[in-house]
Amino acid sequence: MTLTEVGEGPVRDQVDVVMDFWSQENSDVDLLVKALAIRLRRAAHHIERSLRQQLGESDIEVWEAEVLLALRRAADGCRSAGELLKEIQVTSGAITNRVARLEERGWVRRDVDAADRRHVLVTLTPAGLARADELLASKTQAELAVLGGIDRPTQERLNNDLRTLLLALEGPARPGDESLKHARPYLAP
């Protein structure tokens, strides 16, 4: 018997209670889609809360971890600001602000790309590299705290199902995404 089964049938979660309300209140609502969206948001919230708690102990924000780990995955610890922008999925102003704040902390440096002076290259400093490695350990702990209690077959099924969802939303990885293959295991932004 699994966590989702007790006695005669499945165990109800809080989303089931919400769906009971919507089924009575508005019969036009696609309950399956709504339940899936709510469960995804709630699961993301649990992961985010655990991550914020873990990172708070290290005096770092989630966005700082996202940038540092994106740079850590680059083979040479360097990416253009545009590559960071695409990977982290924020505006150009946000990435500029984030990089500037990390530079103030001594974790990255910015250089003009010698091959194309219109581009800014962002590179991890030795202190940034050490910080990124610490963050990887903290993020992994936070994720294990939330997801580690789920059996491996369920984790694999969820991973496959979520890959299907992300492929539908974002499309497949493109040849230009090859820089990610140098990644060390981490939790992405």
Highest CATH level, class, for 5-182: mainly alpha
Q: Domain extents for the chain? A: 5-182
Phi/psi-derived region of residue 106, left when phi > 0, alpha when psi is between -120 and 50, beta in every other case: left
pLDDT digits (tens, 9 = 90+) for 49-61: 998 888 887 778 8
Going through the chain in order, the beta strands assigned E by DSSP cover 5-6, 9-10, 78-80, 108-112, 120-124
What pLDDT was estimated at residue 144?
Answer: 92
DSSP H helix total and E strand total for the chain: 7, 5
Nearest to 53 by CA among 165, 139, 178: 139
Which pLDDT does position 148 carry in this prediction?
93
pLDDT of residue 181: 45
Which tokens go with 11? 């165990």
The tokens for 120 are 């800014």
Q: What is the pLDDT of residues 101-134, one digit of tens each?
A: 999 999 999 998 888 888 889 999 999 999 999 8
List % helix, strand, coil for the chain (3-state, nearest 5): 65, 10, 30
Q: Is 171 left (phi over 0), alpha (psi -120 to 50) or beta?
A: left
Q: What is the pTM of this model?
A: 0.70
Residues 58, 148: Cα–Cα separation, whole Å: 22
Cα dihedral angle (167, 169, 173, 179), rounded to 10 degrees?
-130
What mean pLDDT, rounded, does the chain reach?
85
Q: How confident is the model at residue 138 (pLDDT cuts 50, 70, 90)?
A: confident
**Tokens 């696609």, residue?**
30
Q: Which helix (H) or strand (E) holds 145?
A: helix 126-147
pLDDT at residue 5, as a whole number: 55
User: pLDDT at position 185, please?
Assistant: 35
Percent of the chain with pLDDT over 70: 89
